[in-house]
């Protein structure tokens, strides 16, 4: 017998990691517009006002949202963040983690502290967000992480960035198997280089032009191209599980 799973976000509680700006902010608004109640996560005091603006915008549009602060590289803080969501909303349907950081430099120039920081944010935080989400997400829920299309790339300069994102693919496969029996799907979206403030500081005019040339229509990935995929995977796309989706206009593939 087929088990019917939710294809609506109405009244569903969703945690969005790294939600104060760029893709995370748009995802928060998109899911709220679909009826979700959204926990808008931010990391540092410097992001508090922007996160609050996202939550305020959702409420002004008739939705339900609140902000929460946590350093997700600290397992105890990640656990507390998810406890706060459940305490506030009474349940948790989905986790969408967009948090990340990037540096671009030759491997031989990467300092130990840069390596540690990149793996803390892009790998360790992702792991413990997935762990804490898995402990709290209701049956039939969703766990989704944003990584990078460079997982399928063959290029220099991004070793510690792409390398610190790469483990999430294995985390995704393992957790998706471990949650069999609860109808919880666990997936990853790998966007191409995104046209946001997150992208440009690591690039030059020449590298931006080159990266644009590698995708359809000579365009960078827009956050508006990714948000619908998030909504789909949290609703009608529930049968996808353990997958990495390269949503990048053909920038990379495998």
Residues 15-56: tens digit of each pLDDT? 999 999 999 999 999 999 999 999 999 999 999 999 999 999
123: which DSSP letter?
I
Compute, in degrees rounded to 10, the torsion defined by CA atoms 40, 9, 142, 73. Answer: 0
Would the pLDDT of 3 be above 80?
Answer: no
173: which DSSP letter?
H
For tokens 């390398």, the residue is: 163
Of residues 241, 146, 231, the one with CA closest to residue 184: 241
Would the pLDDT of 191 be above 60?
Answer: yes
Q: From edge to edge, which strands make up the β-sheet containing 244-247?
A: 64-69, 37-42, 13-17, 94-97, 142-146, 185-191, 244-247
- Average pLDDT in the chain: 95
Would the pLDDT of 201 be above 90?
Answer: no
pLDDT in tens, 165-188: 999 999 999 999 999 999 999 999
Q: First CA to last CA across the chain, in angstroms?
A: 34
Average pLDDT over residues 84-105: 97
Rounded to 5 degrees, φ, ψ at 36 are -75, 150
Dump the DSSP string for 4-46.
P-----TT-EEEEET-SSHHHHHHHHHHHHTT-EEEEEE-SGG
Structural domains of the chain, ranges and CATH numbers in brackets:
13-247 (3.40.50.720)
Average pLDDT over residues 191-206: 86
CB atoms within 10 A of CB 7: 11
């Amino acid at each position: 017998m087929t088990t019917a799973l939710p294809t609506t976000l109405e009244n569903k509680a969703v945690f969005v990691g790294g939600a104060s700006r760029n893709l995370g902010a748009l995802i928060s608004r998109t899911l709220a517009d679909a009826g979700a109640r959204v926990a808008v996560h931010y990391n540092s005091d410097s992001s508090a006002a922007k996160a609050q603006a996202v939550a305020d915008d959702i409420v002004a549009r008739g939705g339900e949202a609140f902000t929460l602060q946590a350093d997700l590289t600290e397992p105890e803080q990640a656990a507390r963040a998810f406890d706060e969501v459940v305490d506030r909303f009474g349940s948790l349907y989905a986790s969408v983690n967009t948090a990340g950081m990037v540096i671009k430099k030759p491997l031989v120039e990467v300092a130990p502290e840069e390596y540690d920081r990149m793996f803390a944010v892009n790998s360790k935080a992702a792991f413990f967000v997935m762990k804490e989400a898995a402990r709290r997400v209701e049956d039939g829920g969703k766990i989704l992480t944003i990584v990078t299309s460079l997982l399928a790339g063959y290029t220099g300069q991004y070793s510690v960035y792409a390398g610190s994102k790469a483990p999430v693919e294995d985390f995704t496969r393992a957790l998706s198997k471990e949650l069999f029996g609860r109808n919880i799907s666990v997936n990853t979206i790998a966007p191409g280089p995104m046209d946001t403030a997150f992208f440009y500081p690591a690039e030059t005019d020449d590298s931006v032009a080159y990266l644009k040339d590698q995708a359809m229509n000579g365009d960078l990935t827009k956050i508006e191209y990714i948000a619908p995929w998030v909504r789909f995977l949290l609703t009608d796309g529930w049968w996808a599980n353990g997958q990495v989706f390269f949503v990048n206009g053909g920038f990379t593939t495998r």
